[in-house]
């Protein structure tokens, strides 16, 4: 993955007699502080890790380098398989959880409206994103083993509770617990990839995110079979057992490639006494402040917010749009077609990102592609023919499916591996409001403005995301617009 030097170059060396010093001395730190404009205008340095002035101002924690070689061997791909399993257990289920909503409406919550029941699902998706911020900090500080194991058990327990639930409040409570615990599972699944991959990070992330599409196909078949043959309690317990298999595989295969931050802080304290302890304790807080005051953080966050809003509206709008345009009998197969396209979108664009043009350029290209599909095919002709609608959902699957791995790749290029959990967590915590808005927004727009109004709204959101990611690219490219090199 291309790493962006956004606050200064790692190649800078401190002034003084000893040019072989590993870290900047206080004199050079002062010099850096006197030249902020020069540092802000520094161009992209290919294959250098992101670092800004405050990070360079203090030595990196002892042992912060990867413990095993990145991009090579079987261990990185073992972690990818584990992350894939974790993601299937959450996003694979979430992409077809509308089947649960339909079942609850028909058998358990018939006195509630579809909109009221949809809030149960929306809370699950929202909390999975919103709690990612503290989950990312916990992952950066303590590693994956125990935080993943504890939250995996809580996640499975929530579905056991779901099996014994029958009222609106009980179902909502179980989904709230599932959403809170799943945040750590998914944050670890995505963030740990940056510990093991550099040049192939986009492809590796794509392999993890394709789990949502493949898992969606798998769980749609499983849930329909379970609901046809079993009562709710037995069906939910079998579902829990299936989730347990995926979660257990993920826990066994996923491991970090960096020492947990609380261990490196302890080492620093032991070596340097009180000063080392103070530097270690202040490092996380300073890095967090630095992150949230970085304009590039907000640019990438808004772009991902827009993409998440489009993605969640897309998941909910395909069946609703099919019904509104008299193609309701094809809604199941339309969703299958969308997930097939999403499989392609989650693998091929990240491969091109790694190999040829970089994550920001690829994201811009896929944003333009998706916007052209919406404005050029879906809006004028999507309601005229079922064949055209199938074409639209496959192409939209390719476009929107690429946004998740490319978004993670962009975050990875803007952050250091030991801070990836924090960047990823806070970005998706903010983007979580898009998941909360997605289902209700779809219903409101369809009711007031019809199917074309919904498509036009998607186009507007995509256009705003495109503006944000273009400005981010301009900022990372030394405030130049030219398409030069991998960015």
Q: How confident is the model over 65-83, as pLDDT tens digits?
A: 455 677 678 889 999 999 9
DSSP label of 17: S
Contacts of 301 (CB under 8 A, 6+ apart): 426, 427, 430, 431
Q: How far apart are CA 350 and CA 80, in angstroms?
A: 15
- 16 and 49 share a domain? yes
- Does residue 338 contact residue 318 with C-beta atoms inside 8 Å? yes
- 374 and 430 share a domain? yes
Residue 30 lies in domain: 1-59
Contacts of 368 (CB under 8 A, 6+ apart): 466
Q: Answer yes or no: is 70 within a domain.
A: no
Contacts of 5 (CB under 8 A, 6+ apart): 42, 43, 44, 45, 48, 50, 51
- 462 and 326 share a domain? yes
Q: Answer yes or no: is 322 within a domain.
A: yes
| pLDDT of res. 261 | 55
- 120 and 1 share a domain? no
Q: Answer yes or no: is 433 within a domain.
A: yes
pLDDT in tens, 304-324: 999 999 988 887 677 777 777
| pLDDT of res. 394 | 93
Q: Report the number of distinct structural domains present in the chain.
A: 2
Q: How far apart are CA 123 and CA 179, in angstroms?
A: 7
- Mean of pLDDT over the chain: 79
- 25 and 115 share a domain? no
pLDDT in tens, 233-265: 999 999 999 999 999 999 999 998 776 554 444
3-state secondary structure (DSSP) of residue 161: helix
- 7 and 117 share a domain? no
Listed residue (310, 418, 325) closest to 371, CA to CA: 310
Q: Answer yes or no: is 269 within a domain.
A: no
Listed residue (124, 100, 104) closest to 112, CA to CA: 104
| pLDDT of res. 483 | 62
Q: Answer yes or no: is 288 within a domain.
A: no
Q: How far apart are CA 201 and CA 189, in angstroms?
A: 13
- 316 and 209 share a domain? yes
DSSP label of 60: P
C-beta pairs of 318-324 under 8 Å, 24+ apart in sequence: 318/393, 319/98, 320/442, 320/443, 320/446, 321/382, 321/446, 321/451, 321/454, 322/389, 324/446, 324/450, 324/451
3-state secondary structure (DSSP) of residue 7: coil
- 318 and 443 share a domain? yes
- 17 and 100 share a domain? no
Boundary-marking domain end, from 14, 32, 59: 59
- 349 and 427 share a domain? yes
Q: Answer yes or no: is 485 within a domain.
A: no
Helix, strand, coil percentages, rounded to 5, for the chain: 80, 0, 20
| pLDDT of res. 471 | 94
- 19 and 83 share a domain? no
3-state secondary structure (DSSP) of residue 214: helix
The arithmetic mean of pLDDT across residues 86-111, rounded, is 87
The enclosing domain of 213 has a CATH number of 1.20.1250.20
- 118 and 29 share a domain? no
């Amino acid at each position: 993955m291309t790493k962006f030097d956004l606050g200064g170059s790692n190649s800078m060396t401190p002034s003084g007699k000893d040019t072989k010093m590993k870290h900047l001395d206080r004199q050079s730190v002062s010099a850096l502080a006197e030249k902020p404009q020069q540092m802000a205008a520094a161009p992209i340095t290919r294959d250098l890790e992101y670092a800004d002035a405050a990070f360079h101002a203090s030595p990196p924690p002892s042992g912060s380098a990867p413990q095993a070689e990145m991009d090579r061997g079987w261990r990185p791909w073992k972690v990818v398989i584990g992350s894939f399993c974790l993601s299937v257990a959450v996003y694979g289920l979430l992409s077809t959880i509308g089947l649960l909503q339909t079942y609850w409406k028909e058998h358990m919550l018939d006195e509630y409206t579809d909109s009221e029941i949809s809030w149960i699902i929306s809370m699950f998706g929202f909390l999975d994103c919103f709690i990612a911020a503290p989950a990312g900090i916990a992952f950066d500080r303590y590693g994956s083993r125990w935080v993943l194991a504890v939250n995996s058990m809580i996640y499975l327990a929530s579905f056991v509770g779901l099996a014994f639930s029958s009222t609106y409040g009980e179902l909502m409570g179980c989904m709230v617990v599932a959403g809170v615990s799943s945040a750590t599972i998914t944050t670890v699944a995505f963030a740990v990839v940056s510990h093991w991959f550099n040049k192939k990070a986009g492809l590796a992330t794509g392999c993890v995110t394709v789990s949502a599409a493949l898992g969606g196909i798998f769980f749609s078949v499983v849930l329909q079979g379970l609901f046809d043959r079993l009562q709710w309690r037995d069906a939910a317990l079998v579902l829990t057992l299936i989730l347990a298999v995926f979660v257990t595989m993920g826990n066994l295969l996923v491991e970090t490639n960096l020492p947990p931050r609380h261990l490196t802080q302890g080492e620093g304290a032991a070596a340097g006494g009180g000063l080392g302890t103070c530097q270690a304790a202040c490092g996380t807080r300073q890095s967090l402040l630095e992150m949230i005051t970085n304009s590039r953080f907000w640019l990438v966050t808004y772009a991902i917010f827009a993409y998440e809003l489009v993605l969640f509206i897309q998941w909910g709008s395909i069946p609703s749009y099919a019904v509104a345009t008299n193609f309701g009998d094809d809604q199941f197969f339309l969703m299958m077609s969308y997930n097939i396209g999403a499989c392609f979108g989650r693998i091929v664009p990240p491969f091109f990102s790694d190999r040829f043009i970089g994550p920001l350029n690829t994201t811009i290209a896929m944003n333009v592609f998706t916007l052209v599909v919406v404005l050029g095919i879906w809006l004028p002709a999507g309601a005229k023919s079922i064949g055209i609608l199938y074409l639209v959902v496959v192409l939209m699957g390719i476009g929107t499916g690429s946004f998740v791995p490319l978004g993670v790749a962009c975050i990875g290029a803007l952050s250091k591996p030991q801070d990836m959990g924090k960047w990823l967590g806070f970005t998706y915590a903010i983007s979580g409001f898009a998941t909360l808005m997605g289902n209700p927004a779809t219903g409101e727009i369809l009711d007031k403005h019809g199917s074309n109004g919904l498509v036009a709204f998607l186009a507007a959101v995509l256009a705003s995301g495109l503006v944000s990611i273009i400005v981010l690219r301009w900022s990372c490219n030394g405030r130049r617009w030219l398409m030069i090199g991998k960015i």
